[in-house]
């Protein structure tokens, strides 16, 4: 039986960051044949696609400098974000709540009236309750409610009022009125972004190059965890004894491996959505030449968001990602959804009958977005404390069951590694 200080489950961005920060005594068990998790890039017929869109918005100098230092400057694309909302027959600047003046006059008046007559509270019972309280009926029902119901594929009353944390584009009346002035700019957290010319996966390659490749077990899963004896059994039949177990796999799938009834029951209570992603490449450019991604609240259209890789990479053929939300128990029908997607791209005027789909890729993210509820906010920290007392740490968007950025995941992983290393 092999013994290591750190057994790391998952070779995605959190697992790679931890491995590159913790020294040399570790093993990474990764079920796929390559590192990266959902932050991988594929190349097909001249198209560059990620596993859904991954764009870098750094809030700390540490990781901004890390990115710039390790990605050659000539390979970095810098963009001012151009995002729109497809609302009826027009494109509205994102976020909707700060650009209601772009609506038709009657709808603008409805939104403005409701904004000034909204019923704010000291505290809110749910995400939906917060939307109505902070933005009023019209803004909520025209965009915020239908869009987020498509995205999360869940009743919004089940989400915590702060389900999106700092990523939700809050705006008070003063912000909204100020934004009506011509030339006002979006000041959201991701108004500018960086993107590697070879896709987000090139950043994964950098993280992986800073690790010991001989410590990775690809195509290998942890199938059981004996938390008392600190031994994991692998899918290849081997066992590994660890001092610390670092989990970056989805919490709802990791907890049952410990085979303790309370943890398994808790894992079953966790809620999330699945996202079907189509990466699509066409034979020529669309008339949509400036937009980076579009938000679609219309429930008669199957996708909630689409992105234009060609407008980021400045390429000469339409290259897109399409995102379609499902509930955790939803059954994905890829053919039906692809047919609906092509039909709806024509409805929106993005393609027409002269466009030929020359390359495609299908990805199912399961889970994709975790649902942050009042219950999960209360109970996940208790589970994390219980695990850490036994030398088990669960990190990353899925491991920690949180809504966070890639940078947030990297920060948490490196800080944990530094803290555990300091205990030597």
Residue 91: phi and psi, rounded to 5, are -105, 125
Pick the CATH number of 2-75+198-269+372-421 from 3.40.50.620, 3.50.50.60, 3.10.129.10, 3.40.50.1950: 3.50.50.60
Q: How confident is the model at residue 125 (pLDDT cuts 50, 70, 90)?
A: very high
Residue 56 pLDDT greater than 80, yes or no? no
**Pair type for strands 305-308 and 222-226:** unpaired
Across the chain, mean pLDDT equals: 93
pLDDT at 137: 97
Residue 173: band (very low, low, confident or very high) from pLDDT cuts 50, 70, 90: confident
pLDDT for position 195: 86
Q: What is the mean pLDDT of residues 307-320?
A: 96
CA-to-CA distance for 13 and 103, rounded, in angstroms? Answer: 40
The CA-atom distances, in angstroms, between 284 and each of 34, 52, 309, 353 are: 32, 21, 13, 12
Domain 273-365 has CATH 3.30.70.1990: yes
Distance CA 38, CA 321 (A): 14
For residue 2, is pLDDT > 70?
Answer: yes
Mean pLDDT calculated for residue range 10-14: 96
Characterise 259 by phi-psi region: left (phi > 0), alpha (psi -120 to 50), beta (else).
Answer: left
* In the chain, % of residues over pLDDT 70: 97
* Band of residue 135 on the pLDDT scale cut at 50, 70, 90: very high
**Token digits of residue 268:** 């079953």
Please report which confidence band the pLDDT of residue 182 belongs to, taking 50, 70 and 90 as the band edges: low
Task: Inform me whether the pLDDT recorded for 290 exceeds 90.
Answer: yes
Summarised one tens digit per residue, pLDDT across range 348-358 is 999 999 999 99
Confidence band of 266 (pLDDT split at 50, 70, 90)? very high
Q: Is the pLDDT of residue 183 over 70?
A: no
Per domain, the residue ranges of the chain are 2-75+198-269+372-421, 83-189, 273-365
Is 129 in contact with 123 (CB distance < 8 Å)? Answer: no
Higher local confidence (pLDDT), 193 or 250: 250
Whole-number pLDDT of residue 186? 52
Has residue 410 got a pLDDT over 90? yes
Predicted local distance difference test score (pLDDT) of residue 278: 98
pLDDT at position 179, please?
A: 82
**Fold match flag (2-75+198-269+372-421 vs 83-189):** no
Give phi and psi for 393, each to the nearest 5. Answer: -125, 130
Region 56-79: mean pLDDT is 81
What would you report as the CA-atom Rg of the chain, rounded to the nearest whole angstrom? 22
Q: Indicate if the pLDDT at residue 86 is higher than 60.
A: yes
CATH 1.10.3430 fits 83-189, yes or no: no
> What pLDDT score was predicted for residue 297?
98
What are the residues whose beta carbons fall under 8 Å from the beta carbon of 312, sequence distance 6 or more? 77, 79, 195, 292
């Amino acid at each position: 039986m092999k013994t290591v200080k750190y057994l790391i489950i998952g070779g995605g961005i959190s697992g790679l960051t931890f491995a590159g920060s913790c020294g040399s005594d570790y093993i990474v068990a990764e079920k796929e044949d390559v590192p990266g998790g959902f932050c991988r890039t594929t190349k097909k017929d001249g198209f560059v696609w990620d596993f859904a869109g991954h764009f870098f918005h750094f809030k700390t100098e540490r990781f901004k400098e890390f990115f710039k230092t390790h990605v050659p400057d000539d390979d970095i694309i810098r963009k001012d974000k151009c995002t729109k909302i497809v609302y009826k027959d027009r494109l509205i600047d994102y976020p909707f709540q700060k650009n209601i003046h772009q609506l038709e006059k009657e709808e603008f008046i409805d939104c403005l009236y409701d904004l000034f007559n909204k019923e704010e509270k000291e505290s809110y019972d749910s995400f939906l309750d917060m939307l109505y309280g902070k933005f009023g009926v019209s803004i909520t029902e025209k965009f915020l409610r239908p869009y987020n119901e498509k995205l999360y594929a869940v009743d919004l009353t089940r989400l915590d009022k702060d389900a999106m944390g700092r990523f939700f584009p809050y705006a008070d009346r003063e912000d909204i009125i100020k934004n009506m002035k011509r030339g006002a700019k979006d000041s959201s957290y991701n108004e500018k972004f960086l993107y590697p010319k070879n896709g987000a996966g090139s950043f994964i390659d950098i993280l992986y190059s800073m690790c010991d490749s001989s410590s990775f077990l690809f195509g290998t899963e942890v199938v059981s965890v004996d938390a008392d004896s600190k031994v994991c059994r692998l899918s290849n039949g081997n066992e590994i004894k660890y001092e610390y177990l670092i989990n970056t796999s989805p919490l709802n799938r990791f907890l049952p491996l410990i085979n303790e009834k309370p943890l398994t029951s808790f894992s079953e209570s966790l809620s999330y959505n699945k996202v079907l992603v189509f990466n699509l490449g066409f034979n020529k450019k669309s008339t949509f030449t400036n937009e980076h991604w579009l938000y679609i609240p219309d429930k008669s259209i199957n996708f909630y968001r689409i992105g234009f890789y060609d407008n980021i990479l400045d390429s000469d053929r339409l290259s897109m990602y399409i995102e379609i939300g499902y509930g955790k128990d939803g059954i994905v029908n890829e053919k039906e959804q692809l047919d609906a997607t092509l039909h709806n791209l024509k409805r929106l005027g993005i393609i027409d009958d002269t466009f030929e789909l020359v390359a495609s890729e299908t990805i199912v993210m399961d889970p994709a977005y975790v649902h942050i509820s009042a219950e999960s906010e209360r109970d996940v920290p208790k589970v994390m404390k219980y695990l850490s007392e036994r030398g088990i740490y669960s990190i990353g968007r899925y491991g920690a069951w949180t809504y966070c950025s890639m940078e947030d995941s990297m920060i948490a992983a490196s800080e944990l590694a530094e803290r555990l290393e300091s205990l030597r």
